[in-house]
Homo-oligomer: A and B are copies of this chain.
Amino acid sequence: MKPYHLGLDVGGTNLAAAIVDNDFNILSHKSIPAGAGRDWQAITADFAAASRAAIDAAGVSIEDIECWGIGMPSCIDTRTGLLVNAHQFGWKNVPIREWLKPLLPLDVRIDNDANCAAYGEALAGAAKGRANVIMLTLGTGVGSGIIIDGHIFKGADGMGAEIGHSTLVQGGRTCNCGRKGCVEAYCSATALIKRGREIFGDACTNAKSIFDKALSGDGRAVDLIDEYATYLAYSLSSVTAIFRPEVLILGGGVADAGDYLLDKVNALMPKATYNGETTGVPPVVRATLGNAAGLIGAAFL
């Protein structure tokens, strides 16, 4: 393996690129606006521009870089490099790997951003040294990544691992994806804030304000966080019954709210999980790398 890796984390707002060494240190970091809405030629040219800037800033030679790993918020067929559906860019069924190949003389590897984040946390973060890890990122939606025996698990055709769109309450709340009762419709930050608005009115615009109210003793906020923790615990218990991971990681702004939520979820897990009181349950921990997780995970695809 060559000494350096190039990771690109493609978001709806920014394109972030980094050079990472084999000890998972980030040697350089460059971020530019994603400029969603422009045509694909312009945007993918900027994929390369951000990446070249990171290479220059690190002062490494392109010959010493193992690969160009890219994490994108998209359903990707990783066997063929086909980007099946990237909502934020309005791209469907585009051969993204072929587009990108001419832009940098490096092997292009591409995967879903939530897979990359889970992989980064397993390599260098909250689950460092663990080979079997599941991570949920609680944000606008619920991203998920599954690591089995040290490898990203993506399902038979590379388009799976969508825990956010497994069912938590059949026939329940309508999800962004059009289905009813998805984990995402209950466990995303958006879902929590929406419930907060129902209770506290339009002044409730973020998850932190709900946690602050709960911590200051507001009974309605305590009840709401209890409800949310229960949704999370049952979502995590379902994947635990199936995967029995060594550790479960929560990422995203909601997870950063503090130990209050994590403590509740961990307390619920033994009863919520099949055979949990007999066989034990994995600890639920907070992601530690923040945005770097996706970059490191992408760099090591």
A241 at the interface (CB under 8 A from B): yes
29 A–B pairs (Cβ distance < 8 Å), ordered by A: A75-B279, A132-B156, A146-B242, A148-B156, A154-B244, A155-B242, A155-B243, A156-B243, A156-B244, A156-B246, A157-B244, A159-B244, A159-B279, A160-B242, A160-B244, A162-B242, A166-B241, A166-B242, A167-B168, A167-B238, A168-B170, A169-B169, A169-B171, A170-B186, A170-B230, A177-B274, A179-B271, A179-B272, A238-B238
Question: What copy number does this chain have within its complex?
Answer: 2
Choose one: B75, B132, B154, B274; the contact of A179 (CB below 8 Å).
Answer: B274
B interface footprint on A66-83 (CB within 8 Å = 1, 0 otherwise): 000000000100000000
The answer to the question of A29 belonging to the interface, with a C-beta cut-off of 8 Å to chain B, is no
Once the chains are docked, how many angstroms separate the CA of A168 from the CA of B167?
Answer: 6
Please tell me if A40 contacts chain B, counting CB pairs below 8 Å: no
Judge whether A275 is part of the interface by a CB distance below 8 angstroms.
yes
Number of interface residues of A (CB under 8 A): 49
Q: CB distance A167 to B243 under 8 Å? A: no
B155 lies within 8 A of A75 (CB): no
A278: Cβ under 8 A from any B Cβ = yes
**A274 CB contact (under 8 Å) in B162, B241, B279:** B162
Known A160-B244, A170-B230, A244-B157; judge A165-B274 contact (CB<8 A). Answer: yes
Contact with B along A228-239 (1 / 0, CB 8 A): 001100110111
Which residue of chain B lies nearest to A276 when distances are taken between CB atoms in the complex?
A: B179
Q: Is the CB of A169 within 8 A of B166?
A: no
Most buried by B among A241, A275, A279: A241
B-chain residues with CB within 8 Å of residue A159 when the two chains form the complex:
244, 275, 279
